Chain A
């Protein structure tokens, strides 16, 4: 089956800092999503991005399907950005990046 690897596994930031999360995958895709799981456990859809670049406020994502990776950018991080960020390719999830944003 498809392999999905995320890095880094853990990330600690000060409020206001920028960060980049990476997702590598083993097969060609026509479906890639980024999710945020908040500290209350809710899984929130961030981007559906099988290729190209999308932006939503302080968040943006880029997928380079030919090179089998996707990046999630968080700018001017806030404490509410804390949680786990998952990349999912079709129905396979990566192990997530645990992000902690300190005030």
Chain B
């Protein structure tokens, strides 16, 4: 019973390609997130959705486009992949956005993206 799942776990692709990462949570949470972890293990928030609405959009190239078809899913589409996009992408969820103080976050297993 995986609470937050991501697919695929590994993604190896060429520069210039377009790829998507999917995330699903079965916790009944309202709020979902995408984080990027670089090679030095720095974790940085990219996006957050609350009830399918975008509430956080950090300084991220517009090649990255999140989509939330429903509260349980948050997908990340990346256009024109670049070498610098190589990283581990984590999805997370929390019960609510806690009036933007946010609440306990639960993380998925991560998707390791390698752009060649």
Q: Which residues of A come within 8 Å of B, CB atoms?
A: 29-31, 33, 35, 37, 41-45, 48, 84, 86, 88, 90-93, 95-96
Contact = CB atoms under 8 A, between A and B. Distances in A.
A48 B103 CA distance: 8
Given A41-B110, A43-B90, A91-B45, A31 B56 contact: no
B107 A43 contact: yes
A29 B98 CA distance: 12
B49 interface: no
Interface in B94-116: 98, 101-107, 109-110, 112
Contacts, number: 46
Nearest to A35: B107
B5 interface: no
B102 to A, nearest CB: 5
Interface in B41-98: 41-45, 48, 56, 88, 90, 98
Nearest to B112: A41
25 contacts: A29-B101, A30-B101, A31-B102, A31-B103, A37-B41, A41-B88, A41-B109, A42-B107, A42-B110, A43-B90, A43-B107, A45-B104, A45-B105, A45-B106, A45-B107, A84-B41, A86-B43, A88-B105, A90-B101, A91-B33, A91-B56, A92-B45, A95-B41, A95-B42, A96-B41
Nearest to B40: A95
Contacts of B109: 41-42
A48 to B, nearest CB: 4
B60 to A, nearest CB: 13
A30 B98 contact: yes
Contacts of B104: 33, 45, 48
Contacts of A45: 104-107
A61 to B, nearest CB: 13
Contacts of A48: 103-104
6 closest Cβ pairs, A-B complex: A43-B107, A93-B43, A30-B101, A48-B104, A91-B45, A31-B101
B107 A90 contact: no
